[in-house]
Amino acid sequence: MSCLLDDARIERLGSAGFFVIDDFLGAEAARAIRAEALALARSGALRPAGLSRGDGFRLERVSRGDEIAWLDAEAATPALAGLLATLERLRDEVNAGAYLGLRRYEVQVARYANGAGYVRHLDAFAGGPNRTLTAVYYLNDGWIPAHGGTLRAFPAGGEPVEIAPAIDRLVVFLSARLEHEVQPSLAERLAVTAWFYGREELPR
């Protein structure tokens, strides 16, 4: 089985805080995952996403306008289950190459539409346990600039980077380091996001 990562991607994760892989799983697998994510969205399973967690959790649709559903690996449909298995491989390869000590993870499907976006933020929350690594897999076939919805990343000490949410593109970044925002999406925008927790995690 071929490796998902190479030395250049591991080095970029350390230097820039993120890397991008295009054609991550191939067109056939990507479209199967897209079909299952669309079916989940059409089923009414998605709910408005909020900000923060615990007592600080709140809905602020101006700041964050997506709708989400959390995925359970045991209940996932076949193509999504295959994606989750690949994300576990990604975790193991990042651990081997970058020594992050990633352990458990959580995964959600998110949908943006009708001008919804997400203001500039970090994926790591204050306090622990906390997210160490974020992996976003995009599912948007035929995406064009007029659709909006780009991921705008803010590498420390560098210029902002615009990343289109094109199908079969994976973006991986350090959750506590890379500030980013989702630009308003004028077309339906689907993604599967995994957050990996590291060594600082408290016992569950």
| pLDDT tens for each residue of 8-47 | 999 999 999 999 999 999 999 999 999 999 999 999 999 9
Instruction: Decide if domain 7-51+59-197 falls under CATH 2.60.120.620.
Output: yes
- Its sign, for the CA torsion 99, 182, 78, 169, is negative
Kindly tell me if the per-residue pLDDT of 56 is higher than 60: no
What phi and psi, each to the nearest 5 degrees, are found at residue 146? -65, -20
Distance CA 49, CA 35 (A): 22
Q: DSSP E strands: which ranges in the chain?
A: 18-21, 47-48, 67-71, 105-112, 116-121, 131-138, 151-154, 161-163, 170-174, 179-185, 189-197
Amino acid identity at 108: Q
Terminal alpha carbon distance of the chain: 33
With 50 as the cut, is the pLDDT of residue 203 above it? no
Q: Which residues have CB under 8 Å from 202's CB, separation 6+?
A: 128, 129
66/68 Cα distance (integer angstroms): 7
pLDDT per position as a tens digit, 133-162: 999 999 999 999 999 999 999 998 889 999
Arithmetic mean of pLDDT, 64-88: 94
The mean-pLDDT minimum among 150-159, 180-189, 195-204 falls in 195-204
Split at pLDDT 50, 70, 90, the class of 204 is very low
Domain boundaries, the chain: 7-51+59-197
> For 89-95, what is the mean pLDDT?
97
